[in-house]
Structures are given as structure tokens and as C-alpha cells.
Amino acid sequence: MRTFLAIIAVGLLFSAGAHPSRADEPQAWQSLFNGKDLSGWKYDESYWSVQDGVITGQTTPDHLLKGYNTFCVLADKQPADFQLRLKYRIVGGNSGVQYRSKVLDDQKWIVGGYQADIDSTPTYSGINYHERGRGILADRGQSVEIAASGAKRVTQFADKEHLQELAVKPEQWNDYLIVARGNHLQHFINGVLTAEVIDDQPDHAASSGVIALQAHAGPPMIVQFKEIELLELQPEPAE
């Protein structure tokens, strides 16, 4: 059984300065947002817009989402192995970043798949959530191996509440890094590893898919994203 100790140690010490830099790889990182409009994205324009140079998903008391979440979906790209980095901030409600996901409804822009969760409360930020699927795969502070049968082996590498205090800045801009290599998925907020999954369940695991940003059903909320960049990686050699 794979151990996570080295990964955990690196993750807890991982800082913004340790991220691959634009200077080191000027050709590799791709910008996914031009800072002006939502060219290259598909979305419900009644919930998504660009305000002050950032992507904004917003619901209001007179225009709530009821019964489903809607997404701003990156068009024409379904990366497999990659690093995705961005900045987000949220006021009210819940959101997330979908990856290796599928569009289930291209009228309401409903998406299912892996989600790097974002939350305005101290509950869910940083977890791995399977939208329209298996639910929470790894809570904050957990490394989880999912067997072919769906059975989970859970390692609690850090306290959930402590990670919230350490990593998440409420109602401020936060850095999010998602790393997906083969069946290994990691989430980092502000340089701190918050959750990771080894997914070996073949009928649910995904090796590629869309990237999408979530506006959530429920109470009024506003979530914003900027500096969204993708580094596509070469698949690791089979062991």
C-alpha cells in the first residue's frame, strides 16, 4: 500500500514560492482567462460575468439557483494530467473548481466530477468532492485511497479545523493549486496541502475532463476567480 508520509511532509511545507514559476517555464503555463471577458467559456450569463477584471459568479435574493448548481465551463479543453492554479475569493454560500469532469446539461450548465471545494464557512474549503457522484472523497486533512471496490483507506494527516485556520483567508483572495497525475489528485490552498485522493475505482474515476467554476444553489453568494493558469503534464510511466 502506498504511503503518504513524504507527500504529506512536502504538502504541509509547500509554499507559494515553491510553485513552478512563470520565469522558469514561460512557455508551459497557459492562461485560461484573458481578464476582459469570458471568451473560451460556456455559461449562463444571468449568473456569470466579468467584473473589475475577474470572473464573477453571483446569485441574488431575486435570482437564486434552486435545485441545481450551474457552472462556467472551459470550452474545447479536457486535460488529463496537469497542474491548475488560480486565485479565488468567496462571500456567502459555496463554490468549487471542477476538473476531469463532464457536462451533464448544456442548457443549465450542470457538471459532474471531481471538485476542489470552496466554502464561505469553515466546513468544506479544500476537500475533494465528487459532484453528482460519490460525494466527499477526502475531507480536509485527509489522504484517501479508494480501492476498485470503492472501499476507502483514510489517513488523517492534519486536523481539519487547524488547516482551515492555517490555509484559508475568509473573504480574501486565496491561491488554489490542483495537481492531477494519473489516479493521484491533490489540492493546495495558499501553499498548504488540504486533501489528496488515490482513485482506483474504475467505474467512477476519471482520467480527463472539463474544467469548470461553480455557482451554488441556495442563499445569495458571490465567488470570483482570476489568474487561472494550466500546466499540462506528460503522463507518468507505468510502474
Closest CA to 63 of 46, 49, 48: 46
The string of pLDDT tens digits covering residues 114-133 is: 999 999 999 999 999 999 99
Mean pLDDT throughout 98-121?
A: 98
The string of pLDDT tens digits covering residues 44-69 is: 999 999 999 999 999 999 999 999 99
pLDDT value of residue 44: 98
Instruction: Give 82's contacts (C-beta < 8 A, 6+ positions apart).
Output: 99, 178, 179, 180, 230, 231, 232, 233
Distance (Å, whole) CA 95 – CA 117: 6
pLDDT value of residue 238: 64
Grid coordinates representing 5?
508520509
pLDDT value of residue 190: 98
pLDDT value of residue 84: 98
Residue type, 2: R
| Bridge partners, residue 232, by sequence | 82
pLDDT at 21 over 80: no
Domain 5-232: state its class.
Answer: mainly beta
pLDDT value of residue 234: 87
pLDDT value of residue 160: 98
Closest CA to 221 of 107, 86, 56, 41: 56
Instruction: Grade residue 155 by pLDDT with cuts at 50, 70 and 90.
Output: very high
For the chain, domain boundaries: 5-232
Instruction: Grade residue 235 by pLDDT with cuts at 50, 70 and 90.
Output: confident
pTM: 0.89
The residue length of the chain stands at 239
pLDDT value of residue 239: 61
pLDDT at 7 over 80: no
